[in-house]
Amino acid sequence: MSDISTLKEKINTKTFHLVLLGLLTGGLYLNIWMYKTFTALEDVTRIKTMNPAFFVGYLALIGIIGYVSVVPHLYALVLTGILLLLLTALTLLWCFRVRRVLKAYALAEHNFELRMNLVYTGLFTFYYINYCINALPSDKQKHEDKTRAKHEAIQA
């Protein structure tokens, strides 16, 4: 059984820094963070979250959107909108997969149920995933404190 903070230490990105780096790089850092996170998740949890071909396709889609969006034509604008919707769907798909992996990892390896808000996962995507990864050790500590208090109340 690995330590609960291993994943946090491997990724080593504070959520505020992720927001700032995302803003300063125009969202490009989020792609680097996504790669770093999915490789760290697979190393620590030993659960496959994403095929590398999915990530290459994700990056190719971003490149295609950038290329098509500069074409001054109505059809290019419509195609850009459709591709942006597809990119959003792929981002949400990845975030919900990571959510499922984190919950399974916490339950199987550390015997506590990780609570992750479904709405926050959809709204804040990468940022909420990063926040939850950083909060794993404190969430486990809260669970242990609550369990200890429950056992003490039963014994008293």
Please list the pLDDT of the chain residue by residue as tens digits (156 residues): 568 899 999 999 999 999 999 999 999 999 999 999 999 999 999 999 889 999 999 999 999 999 999 999 999 999 999 999 999 999 999 999 999 999 999 999 999 999 999 999 999 999 999 999 999 999 999 988 888 888 888 876
Q: Quick one: DSSP state of residue 25?
A: T
Model pLDDT, residue 95? 96
Structure confidence at residue 150 (pLDDT): 83
Residue 50 belongs to a domain: yes
What domain range is 19 assigned to?
Answer: 6-155
What local confidence, expressed as pLDDT, does residue 120 receive?
96
Contact indicator for 37, 99 with CB cutoff of 8 Å: no
Q: Is residue 1 part of a domain?
A: no
Supply the pLDDT for residue 31: 95
| Token reading at 60 | 């190719």
HSE at residue 144, side-chain half, CA atoms within 13 A, is 10
User: Crossing angle of helices 118-155/74-110, nearest 10°?
Assistant: 10
Residue 64 lies in a domain: yes
Q: Report yes or no on 106 lying in a domain.
A: yes
Alpha-carbon distance of 21 to 13, in angstroms, equals 10
- Domain total of the chain: 1
State the distance between the two ends of the chain, measured CA to CA, in whole angstroms. 32
Answer whether residue 83 is part of any domain. yes
Distance (Å, whole) CA 32 – CA 122? 20
Q: Does residue 13 sit within a domain? A: yes
Query: Can you tell me which residue has the tokens 């369990």?
Result: 147
The pLDDT score that the predictor gives to residue 156 is: 65
In a domain, 138, yes or no: yes
